Structure 1
Amino acid sequence: MSDLNHTATAGFESRFGQSPAGLWSAPGRVNLIGEHTDYNDGFVFPFAIDRRTVVALGLRTDRLIRVASSFAEDTVELSLDDLTPENLGGWSAYPLGVAWALGQFGADLAVVPGFEVFIDSDVPIGAGLSSSAAIESAVAVALTDVWELELDRPMLARVGQLAENRAVGAPTGIMDQSASLLGRADAAVFLDCRSLDAELIPLGFDAAGLELLIIDTRVSHAHSTGGYASRRASCENGARLMGVSSLRDLDVNDLARAGELLDDETFRRVRHVITENQRVLDTVRTLREEGPTAIGALLDASHVSMRDDFEISVPELDLAVEVARASGAIGARMTGGGFGGAAIALTPHALVPVVSAAVTSAFAARGFGAPDLFVVRAADGAAREQA
């Protein structure tokens, strides 16, 4: 974190000619299990990771907002008076969208001062590790502090989701922001996306000698494009045809009836969500009763469901999962929204080099671009870094 804090501070000073009022950070997240269940009011089980986004922020005495980052050359300027979703676009829609969304949750944008912000991050972009929610969550906690708002972390998760839905145009659920804001070291967030009840569940990876290996395929994806939106629409259609408000209202006992009522594609989309919800519940129970070495089969089954029923995997992800399992991982699956991004492999510590080498070799043999492999640990959520 010291390097990111330094580069964020230096970036702020270079762009804006003064020191920031403070630094705030928020982590990316990896979803251990529970994919595409969040917007269906279901269960998810993500954890915050030790890759973070740092926001250096200072207040202005006028109404102007200026945002800049290490990953874009431009500095975007906008008046608070013009802060609407229709006026936002590109990368700046993430931080500016949060400022707008805070106004929808009680901040009086007619009286708050403008601000300047510089963003730096080591959360990989496009890898399915929610670099977007890290930006949103860091900006949300920063503005909550400097604007002196009384919003708790679950409410800030809703702020981030609204920003992503309306300002960015990605129809995502609330999982990513919840993990980034609520995460704790060596624990995952068991989140009910209907009630927003969240419980921290100890993972025990260190005690069991396990590492979570990220295999970033470097195949890029974008949630605001058609694949994600079409899956969500299919789920909504399936719920309507089944006569329920959301797929959360169905369980495995409803699959036979769903098979009779729905066309094949819609049925498979619905089956993924129903069975994935059950896998989340089973994973939490298994962790509590047997420990992390016993969850491998659930991770494997989740990938098969995403590959075959939800059809959001790609050949690179399938290869990463197959080779990781064959090389000693106790379980593996793609993670994130799909159509690229990363796979995860729960791997004994001693076998991480073996699995990494095997995956890298397999990608080369297939003519795929070299993947990026690294271990992540469950980390604390968003926080102020310094005064």
Structure 2
Amino acid sequence: MKEKVLSVFKEKYGDGGDIRLYFAPGRVNLIGEHTDYNGGHVFPCALTIGTYGAARKREDRKIRFYSMNFRDLGVIETSLDELTPDKKAGWTNYPKGVMWAFRGRGYEMDCGLDVVIYGDIPNGSGLSSSASLEVLTGTMLKDLYGFPVSMVEIAQIGQYSENNFNGCNCGIMDQFASAMGKKDHAIFLDTNTLQYEYAPVKLEDAKIVITNSKVKHSLVDSAYNDRRNECERALADLKKVTDISALGDLTEEAFEAHKDAIQEEVCRKRAKHAVYENQRTIHAEAALKEGNVEQFGKYMNQSHISLRDDYEVSCEEIDVLVDLAWSVPGVIGSRITGGGFGGCTVSIVKNDAVDTFIDTVKKGYKDKCHKTAEFYVVEVGDGAHRLA
């Protein structure tokens, strides 16, 4: 793939000069959904699919972008003097936002650049194509301009730009997983402190299978931000009766003892999910460390029910996919993954059941929802880096 990206770069911008290649992965979250902005734990892993980029510095202040995924848009041109959000700029608002955020931290690009992008993450799938593009941009800037930032800072800059430039109030998980991924490991991350550890993903007789519902979603919409606001209102009520800084500080028992302080029923449901999902994630990581994959799967199933009923970020198509998965012998666990409102499910499936799983779910989904699901048997890969 990197050869294709390099070839297109030379075709669009010409050969010669210091052309550099980069990759930033997408991610799948095994468990711990909508906990990252509630001071809880998440458990994502980087994938071997993601976003490739080629870049070369210019001698003027122009920035030129070209996406192999949106060829009909052609080369989109802007400059270092035009780093403002613009609906007409489309996908380029994501890399522009990262450049804007670098500038806000005092890292000034002294010249423009030419960029070619190619992503093999399906658009709208919930596997973090936007975070992958943000982290790719940060990795490019760090390398090309010699900015002294760590990969954790690149994740933080990506989140900041998506919050403040693109208008999506997302947490840190997606960018952190893309920046800090490690092959064959998931990241057990405390989003309140950014303390993290790597946990080996040892599935000796099973595979991770992602099922794409082909229902597209956009996180830059009211539903995602509504959930965050509802959690904030719940937290404000709880702070009146208990000394906490985030919903992730509560155990299930503490939540049950104080939940009546939450004035609105909808906020109570959202907070319940955030608290219980955080504790599930802590227990699930421990189960995986102990090699108890079956117990890990049970936590995945509980997570989906909570996301469906208490957090209400699932949808009919996703629930059909999960119900079908649960009906297949050899499926250890299955749940929605990502922000919700469509996108993908993640399932752990025993090796000898993978073909049956795909056949059964594909047929059942087509019959019930009249859509054709896509399936990816994925591997866990490394975080963002420059390619040789």
Q: Secondary structure of 2:125's match?
A: coil
- Provide the rounded CA distance (Å) in 1 between the counterparts of 2:51 and 2:112: 21
Q: How many correspondences in the alignment?
A: 379
SS of the residue 1:295 aligns to: helix
- Per-residue deviation, 1:188: 0.3
Partner of 1:16: 13
- Which residue identity lines up with residue 93 of structure 1 in the other structure? N
Contact 1:89 1:168 in 2 (8 A): no
Task: Give the AA of the match of 1:96.
Answer: K
* Deviation of the 1:337 alpha carbon: 0.3
User: Structure 1 length as normaliser, TM-score?
Assistant: 0.94
Tell me if structure 2 keeps the 8 A contact 1:186–1:379: yes
What is the deviation of 1:85? 4.1
Between 1:82-91 and 1:267-276, the stretch displaced more is 82-91
1:241 lines up with 2:242 in the alignment = no
1:45 and 1:220 map into 2 onto residues whose CA distance is 23
Deviations 1:337-366 (A, max 9, x none): 000000011000111110111111111211
**Identity within the alignment, %:** 36
What does residue range 251-266 of structure 1 map to in structure 2 within 5 Å? 251-252=251-252, 253-266=254-267
Which structure 2 residues correspond to residues 116-127 of structure 1 after superposition, within 5 A?
Answer: 116-127=114-125
Q: Read off the aligned partner of 1:365 and give its amino acid letter.
A: D
Q: Cα 1:87–1:338, aligned 2, differ >3 Å: closer, same or farther? A: closer
Tell me if the contact between 1:316 and 1:368 (Cα under 8 Å) persists in the aligned partners: no
2:341 equivalent in structure 1: 339
Alignment of 1:1-387 (within 5 A): 4-19=1-16, 21-72=19-70, 73-85=73-85, 89-109=89-109, 112-205=110-203, 208-243=204-239, 244-252=244-252, 253-328=254-329, 329-386=331-388
For the structure 1 residues 122 and 150, does the alpha-carbon distance in structure 2 shift closer, same or farther, using more than 3 Å as the test?
Answer: same
Q: Which blocks of at least 5 consecutive residues in structure 2 are unaligned?
A: none
Contact 2:237–2:261 under 8 Å retained in 1: no
Q: Distance in 2 between matches of 1:336 and 1:226?
A: 16
CA distance in 1, matches of 2:353, 2:22: 35
Note the aligned Cα RMSD (angstroms): 1.5
The letter of the residue matching 1:296 is G
Deviation at 1:169, TM superposition (A): 1.3
Matched position secondary structure for 2:308: helix
- The whole-number CA distance in structure 1 between the counterparts of 2:55 and 2:229 is 38
**Aligned equivalents of 2:196, 2:15: Cα separation in 1:** 40
Q: Secondary structure at the match of 1:330?
A: strand
- Normalising to structure 2: TM-score of the pair? 0.94
Describe the shift of the 1:284–1:340 C-alpha distance in structure 2 as closer, same or farther (beyond 3 A): same
**Greater shift in the superposed pair: 328-337 or 66-75:** 66-75
Q: Which amino acid aligns with 1:211?
A: K
- The structural deviation recorded for 1:293 is 3.5
SS at match of 1:311: coil
